[in-house]
Structure 1
Amino acid sequence: MTAPLLVLTDFSPDSDLALRHAAALAALLKAPLLLLYVRRESLLDPEAFTGSIHHLSEKQIADAFAKRTAGLSVPVVTESVNDRLPEALAAAVQKYAPALVVLGKPDTQQTPDQLVSTTALNLLRSTHTPLLVIPRPANDPVLPQHLLLAIDGEPFSFATPLTGVQELLRELQPRLTLCHVASTAEAESVAAHDILAGSRLLAGLELPIETHPVVDSEVPEAILRAAADVQADWLVLPARRRSFWGQLFNQSVTAQAVLHSSLPVLLLPTS
Structure 2
Amino acid sequence: MSTSLLILTDFTPAADQALHYAAALAAPLGASLILLHIRRESLLDRDAFTGHIQHLSEGEVAAALEERTRGLAVPVQVESTVDGVSAAVADAAQRHQPALLVLGKPDTETTPDELVSSTSLTILRATRTPLLIIPINSTATVPPRRITIAADNNGFSLKPQTEPIRDLLHTLKPTVTLVHVVEPEENDECPQAHQAVLDSGLLRELPSVHTHGVRCRQIPQGILQGVSETQADMLLLIARRRSFLGQLFNRSVTSQVVLHGHVPVVLLPALD
Q: TM-score, normalised by structure 1?
A: 0.91
Partner AA of 1:96 in structure 2: H
Using the TM superposition, give the Cα deviation of residue 51 of structure 1 relative to its aligned residue in structure 2, in angstroms. 7.3
Aligned equivalent of 1:28: 28
- 2:177 matched to 1:177? yes
Using the TM superposition, give the Cα deviation of residue 152 of structure 1 relative to its aligned residue in structure 2, in angstroms. 2.0
CA separation of 1:161/1:200 partners in 2, compared to 1, >3 Å: closer, same or farther? farther
Aligned equivalent of 2:99: 99
Aligned equivalent of 2:234: 234
1:81-112 CA-partner distances (Å, limit 9, x unpaired)? 11111111011101111110000000111222
Give the distance between the partners of 1:84 and 1:183, measured in 2 at CA.
43
Q: Which aligned pairs between 1:1-271 and structure 2 lie closer than 5 A?
A: 1-39=1-39, 41=41, 43-44=43-44, 52-139=52-139, 142-160=142-160, 162-186=162-186, 191-203=192-204, 205-246=205-246, 251-271=251-271
CA separation of 1:180/1:246 partners in 2, compared to 1, >3 Å: closer, same or farther? farther
Unaligned 5+ residue runs, structure 2? none
Give the distance between the partners of 1:51 and 1:262, measured in 2 at CA.
27
CA separation of 1:122/1:49 partners in 2, compared to 1, >3 Å: closer, same or farther? farther
CA RMSD in angstroms comes to 2.5
Using the TM superposition, give the Cα deviation of residue 143 of structure 1 relative to its aligned residue in structure 2, in angstroms. 1.2
1:44–1:53 Cα contact (<8 Å) kept: no
**What SS class does the counterpart of residue 191 from structure 1 fall into?**
helix
2:7–2:22 Cα contact (<8 Å) kept: yes
Give the distance between the partners of 1:5 and 1:149, measured in 2 at CA.
21
Give the distance between the partners of 2:203 and 2:223, measured in 1 at CA.
21
CA separation of 1:48/1:183 partners in 2, compared to 1, >3 Å: closer, same or farther? farther
Could you tell me the percent identity over the aligned residues? 50
CA separation of 1:43/1:185 partners in 2, compared to 1, >3 Å: closer, same or farther? same
CA separation of 1:248/1:91 partners in 2, compared to 1, >3 Å: closer, same or farther? closer
Unaligned 5+ residue runs, structure 1? none
Using the TM superposition, give the Cα deviation of residue 245 of structure 1 relative to its aligned residue in structure 2, in angstroms. 3.4
CA separation of 1:30/1:186 partners in 2, compared to 1, >3 Å: closer, same or farther? closer
Using the TM superposition, give the Cα deviation of residue 242 of structure 1 relative to its aligned residue in structure 2, in angstroms. 1.0
Partner AA of 1:197 in structure 2: L
> What is the aligned residue count?
270
